[in-house]
Amino acid sequence: MKTGDVLTVDIISLDHFGRGIAKKDNFIFFVSNALPLEIVDIKVVKVKKNIIEAEVCKYLKKSSDRVVVSCPFYEECGGCDLLHLNYNKQLDYKQNKVKEIMRKFANLDGDKVKDIKHANNCHYRNKVIFKVDDKIGFYKKKSNDIVEVKECYISDERINKVISLIRDTSNIKEIMVRASKYTNDLMMVVDGVLSREDLNFLKEYVTSIYVKENNKLRNIYGHDACYEKLGNYVYKILPDAFFQVNTDCAKLMYDQVKEYLSLDINDVVLDLYCGTGSIGIYISDVPKKVLGIEVNRDAITSALENAKINEVSNIDFICDKVENVVNKLDYIPNKIVVDPPRSGLDGKTVSYLNDSGADIIVYVSCDPVTLARDLKLLDNYEVIEITPFDMFSNTYHVECVCLLNLR
Ligand SMILES: C[S@@+](CC[C@H](N)C(=O)[O-])C[C@H]1O[C@@H](n2cnc3c(N)ncnc32)[C@H](O)[C@@H]1O
């Protein structure tokens, strides 16, 4: 088998990256944009031993779960891996994927995985980073070539609008736009130089513009931050701080975290990897105190202001790496929330959690594989249940919230 070979295969299932799987003559094929029960002519694009990556040249039989894709940039862009799959089937796929990963990597019964929860599945992204050369768009999958995207199906419509207003891209490398769903805030961060004309025009639409100079951000127009509302709380988000990309789904997820914590007035809560303090503040109305730990300075600056804005007085924050401080804390929590980046928990943090004695740990994760690995390592805790969330609709990604009880 070599690159460029063309052959016909039957797709039998989907892999964890949303690609169709086929098997033939001792080879395993991973085919993008192909669904189970489809018969397709494929062209081989990469060969590694008996593992073959391929793309479809012709659909000989299409799945009844395939839908007509309304995004004209879909094929070339590749940012949405599953847009061609009926949305309800996307949800089934993600739920089953979490079950499979938990069985395989954490030895957990599939019944522990509850029904997936979801909000809106189009125009949900509140933050988008566009790559720019003579055109504005996204990197093609596995390449540095930019695909021009005039309107992104999953981005907030105000983000699409503001990007369409830019005329002169000659001195710009990258543009980040953040749109708040429940305030009118619209922030733009430009890596490069906006033309005077574009800048004047944009000022009518955006509430804040930053430019990146020597890797530092400078506010050249409007407010220093975006504000967003989740339930009863308002969050200030500085340009570099993390905030969940799907606002409505984030609210569903934070409600789940709160439910799993089953808080009472005497609880002492630790919120690890707390970002802008969003979870800690969201759950702060019940417990005695909350302590958030986060490495990003912008996020902690936002978190401190968020506590003030929301008049939350029982929360504190530490700006540092979780693994550097957890073992030195003069703070004994009986409930802990962890929401680490995709890579999951490091060894020191796993040991700290195992020895913490906390009654409940709620683990929020955007990567079920690292979640499963960590759940297996947290052996002083029993996994009670896991709820998946469709935070990143139309892509293969899935967010999970897991409840663990001290054994
Ligand atoms: C998935 S986000 C969660 C943020 C927050 N819980 C939320 O819901 O908005 C992960 C956060 O962990 C922070 N982070 C990454 N590595 C860290 C570390 N070693 N120690 C502390 N924070 C870290 C990132 O800056 C980011 O804000």
Please give the tally of structural domains in the chain.
Answer: 3
CB of 61 closer than 8 Å to CB of 39:
yes
The per-residue pLDDT for 168 is 93
Query: How does pLDDT run across 118-137, given as a tens digit for each residue?
Result: 999 999 999 999 999 989 99
The crossing angle, in degrees rounded to 10, of helices 368-377 and 87-106 is 30
Atom of ligand 1 nearest to the CA of 271: 6
Nearest to 284 by CA among 299, 300, 297, 303: 303
One domain, residues 314 and 370: yes
Q: Which atom of ligand 1 is nearest to the CA of 337?
A: 6
Check whether residue 144 and residue 220 sit in a common domain: yes
Q: Torsions phi, psi of 129, nearest 5?
A: -110, 120
Residue 8's SS3 state is strand
Q: Amino acid identity of 276?
A: T
Q: What is the CATH number of the domain that holds 153?
A: 2.40.50.1070
Q: Is residue 35 part of a domain?
A: yes
The pLDDT of residue 222 is 97
Strands 360-365 and 335-338: parallel
**Angle 259-260-266 (CA atoms, 0-180°, nearest 5)?**
85
Query: Would you state the pLDDT for residue 356?
Result: 97
Instruction: Establish if 231 belongs to a structural domain.
Output: no
User: Ligand 1: which residue has its CA nearest to atom 12?
Assistant: 273
CB of 166 closer than 8 Å to CB of 136: yes
Confidence at residue 181, expressed as pLDDT on a 0 to 100 scale: 95
Identify the pLDDT of residue 140.
87
In DSSP notation, 154-173 reads TB-HHHHHHHHT----TTEE
Closest C-alpha to ligand 1, atom 18:
321
* Burial environment of residue 47 by CB neighbours within 10 A (0 to 12, 13 to 18, 19 or more): middle
Name the E strands within 85-159: 127-132, 136-139, 146-148
Do 271 and 399 belong to one domain? yes
- What is the pLDDT at residue 179? 97
- Give residue 26 CA to ligand 1 midpoint distance, Å: 43
Which residue range forms the structural domain that includes residue 59? Answer: 6-66
Ligand 1 nearest atom to the CA of residue 243, by list position: 9
Answer yes or no: is 232 within a domain: no
302: CA distance to ligand 1 center in Å?
A: 13
CATH number at residue 62: 2.40.50.140
Q: How do strand 127-132 and strand 20-24 relate by DSSP bridges?
A: unpaired
User: What pLDDT shows up at residue 144?
Assistant: 87
Q: How many residues does the chain have?
A: 407
Burial zone of 64 (CB within 10 Å; 0-12 exposed, 13-18 middle, 19+ buried): exposed
Protein residue with its CA nearest to atom 25 in ligand 1: 296
Distance 243 CA to ligand 1 centre (A): 10
Inter-residue contact 260 to 360 (CB < 8 Å): yes
- 137 and 162 share one domain: yes
Name the closest-CA residue to atom 26, ligand 1: 275
Tokens encoding 232: 């009863």
Q: How far, in Å, CA of 183 to CA of 316, rounded?
A: 26
Residue 53 CB burial class (10 angstroms; 0-12, 13-18, ≥19): middle
368 Cα–ligand 1 center, Å: 16
- Same domain membership, residue 53 and residue 135: no
Tell me how far apart the alpha carbons of residues 338 and 325 are, in angstroms, rounded to a whole number. Answer: 14
State whether 313 and 207 are in the same domain. Answer: no
Q: Which of 178, 258, 273, 371 to mutate to test the pocket of ligand 1 (most atoms within 8 A of CB)?
A: 273
In a domain, 318, yes or no: yes
pLDDT at residue number 151: 92
Look at residues 206, 67, 179 and name the one whose alpha carbon lies nearest to residue 124.
179
Check whether residue 300 and residue 165 sit in a common domain. Answer: no
Question: Is residue 74 situated within a structural domain?
Answer: no
Residue nearest to atom 27 of ligand 1 (CA): 275
pLDDT of residue 143: 85
CATH number at residue 110: 3.40.50.150
Amino acid at site 269? V
Residue with tokens 């984030």: 250
Measured from the CA of 293, which atom of ligand 1 is nearest? 21
Q: State the distance from the centre of ligand 1 to the C-alpha of 276, rounded, in angstroms.
A: 9
Ligand 1 pocket at CB < 6 A? 242-244, 273-276, 278-279, 293-296, 299, 321-323, 339, 341
Distances in Å between the Cα of 396 and the Cα atoms of 11, 14, 113, 337, 366 are 17, 10, 17, 25, 11
Which pLDDT score, from 0 to 100, does residue 234 have? Answer: 95
Q: Burial level of 18, CB count in 10 A (0-12/13-18/19+)? A: buried
Instruction: Give the residue, out of 295, 324, 391, with the most ligand 1 atoms within 8 A of its beta carbon, to mutate for a pocket test.
Output: 295
- What pLDDT was estimated at residue 70? 86
Residue 30 within a domain: yes
Q: 258 with 175, same domain?
A: no
Q: How far is the centre of ligand 1, averaged over its atoms, from the C-alpha of 343 (Å)?
A: 11
Contact 282, 252 (CB under 8 A): no
pLDDT given at position 359:
98
Helix 347-355 vs helix 368-377: angle between axes, to the nearest 10 degrees? 50
CA atoms within 13 A on the CB side of 70: 7
Indicate if 97 and 155 belong to the same structural domain.
no
Q: What is the dihedral of CA 388, 393, 395, 396, to 10 degrees?
A: 20
284 and 391 co-located in one domain: yes
Per-residue model confidence (pLDDT) at position 339: 98
Q: What residues are annotated to the active site?
A: 366
Nearest residue by C-alpha to atom 15 in ligand 1: 341
DSSP 125: B
| pLDDT tens-digit readout, 162-209 | 999 999 999 999 999 999 999 989 999 999 999 999 999 999 999 999
Ligand 1: residue whose CA is nearest its atom 20: 321
Q: How far is the CA of 340 from the centre of ligand 1 (A)?
A: 5
Residues 346, 251, single domain; the answer is: yes
* Residue where a domain stops, chosen among 25, 50, 66: 66
Element (H, E) at 76: helix 74-77
Q: Is 77 part of any domain?
A: no
Range list of β-strands (E), 65-114? none
CA of 366, closest atom in ligand 1: 1
The stretches in the chain having pLDDT less than 50 are none
Both 19 and 53 in one domain: the answer is: yes
pLDDT value at residue 298:
86
**AA identity, residue 155:** S
For 15-103, strand residue ranges (E) read: 20-24, 27-32, 39-48, 51-61
- Which residue, 298, 196, 186, 198, is CA-closest to 241? 298
pLDDT at 200: 93
